[in-house]
Amino acid sequence: MTRRTRPTTSDLPEDLTRRRLLTHAGAAAAVALTSPLLLVGCGSGSRLICRHQRTEEVYASVPVEIGSIITHSWVHSIERSRWTDSYRVDGDTLMLVRTEFEEYGAGMPLDEGTVSIQDGTVVIEDIDRAFEAIRWIHSHRVDYRIGVDGDTGLIDARELPDSEPLELRPG
């Protein structure tokens, strides 16, 4: 078995784009994301609500402020590495500002944000794409973590229902 090595920051040009990263890193393997994020509308407020998509049963409600950073992370089912998306609360929307992952493959958007590699992890910042909510099918098998300003203890993902469609939204 051949072990893959990851490029370091010093190996990459300063003006790295996603397209160049794919070429430079040689990562063209297909990636099937079993827990894709889909997005829906929401209301305004100063709380982050975690609820069931269909029944709207609320599982958690935590206070947030404009500028709070919400992280939504999981272990990717194929790559077996952590994927983390970070959103900034902007009133009644969540602004995707950063995403981090270890493997880059097919199906990834190409020309968005500023791409770098930090300690072997691909980091894309300056995305600034607004979402009204984050939707996913929750699974206890992928070690979901939800953070508010770095605190992953406010919403315990292990206590959320398994194999159910959930959403996070300002409300």
Domain ranges of the chain: 36-170
CB atoms within 10 A of CB 159: 9
CB 148 within 8 A of CB 72: no
For 116, residues 6+ apart whose C-beta sits below 8 A from its C-beta are 9, 12, 16, 122, 123, 125
Task: Give the pLDDT of the chain (171 residues) as one tens digit per residue.
Answer: 444 343 443 444 444 443 333 333 333 222 222 223 322 333 344 899 999 999 999 999 999 999 999 999 999 777 778 889 999 999 999 999 999 988 776 656 667 889 899 998 889 999 999 999 999 999 999 999 999 999 999 999 999 999 999 999 998
Distance separating alpha carbons of residues 134 and 121, to the nearest angstrom: 23
